[in-house]
Amino acid sequence: MLDKDKIGSVREVIFSVDVEDGISISMRDNFHRNIHQTNRVYSLTSRILDFLGEQEMRGTFFFLGKVAEQFPQLVKRTLHEGHELGVHGYDHITFDKLNREDAYNELYRAKSILESLTGEKVTGHRAPAFSITPQTVWVLELLIELGFEYDSSILPADFGRYTWPDFPSHPVKINVNDTGSLIEFPITTVNIVGNKIPFSGGSYFRLLPSQLLQNIYKKVSKRSTVIHYMHPYEIDEERYPDYYFAALKSVSFVKELKLRSFWIKRSAVEYKLKSLAKNYRFTSFSRHFDAQSESALPTYRINL
């Protein structure tokens, strides 16, 4: 737990969780089989909530609409314990696979589910797989139209499918067509050997040595607030159901190795989080930004 004597000097880390079921998404995207959300997303997200409760810290939980629909009590618990709710789409479909109408429906449906369950306005959004890029920039206009106030979907790196190499690496106020705006919190990166690396989540957080991560967090947090991101399945160390391994036999050896690699060092994730919690205060986007001034943010203009 955070050392109470250090609180005055401790920096904040924005702690965010993309609440999705890794098994059902993998079955659909890798094996073309649609299944219900499994109970793992409920139990794993509950573990994250327990952890934050023990630390007396808060975070932002971007819920997939399907998860919220099947586990409404999880949504209500998250809000009741002081965390912020955000939208992660309804069915976890990346925006490059959607037209404008379908994207609008994905966002509207998920937002409506969360707001109906809680009676509160949901203002934050994160795209599946960080899929807001120069090719899908039109999504930002939809977010404004639907009443979102901030987004955290842009990865300002120059590798991979869903990146935006030239986007600023710090929060900005995006003005779209001079008709509306929202705040963008890009995913935090660090420059390593000429490459921008999103160290604070996903495979990088899981695989990088703990001490190296501590050093990177210390370095980066001196100039900006780090945005940590994770998924519930990243702390899932239990064997997946038999039907998953049966499906693995249907893919190539190379693809099987890639999918199995996602289990490497999952046992280290919770340890690393606890280590970070000793030196940083985890908080939500809304709580962090309440202490900041929107007027101080630089404007990034986009004309569609």
pTM confidence score: 0.94
Average pLDDT over every residue of 277-304: 86
Q: How confident is the model at residue 194 (pLDDT cuts 50, 70, 90)?
A: confident
The whole-number pLDDT of residue 291 equals 62
pLDDT of residue 178: 79
Q: Which segment of 71-80, 185-194, 237-246 scores lowest on mean pLDDT? A: 185-194
Give residue-wise pLDDT tens across range 39-96: 999 999 999 999 999 999 999 999 999 999 999 999 999 999 999 999 999 999 999 9
pLDDT for res 290: 72
Residue 185 has pLDDT above 80, yes or no: yes
Contacts of 97 (CB under 8 A, 6+ apart): none
Mean pLDDT, range 194-206, rounded to an integer = 92
Q: Taking 80 as the threshold, does the pLDDT of residue 104 lie above it?
A: yes
Phi-psi region of 38 (alpha: psi -120 to 50; beta: other; left: phi over 0): beta
In tens, the pLDDT along 257-284 reads 999 999 999 999 999 999 999 999 999 9
pLDDT category, 140, cuts 50, 70, 90? very high
pLDDT at 292: 61
For the four alpha carbons of 52, 69, 125 and 288, in that order, the dihedral sign comes to negative
Per-residue confidence (pLDDT) for residue 10, from 0 to 100: 63
Domains of the chain, CATH where assigned: 4-302 (3.20.20.370)
Segment among 2-6, 13-17, 38-42 with least mean pLDDT: 2-6
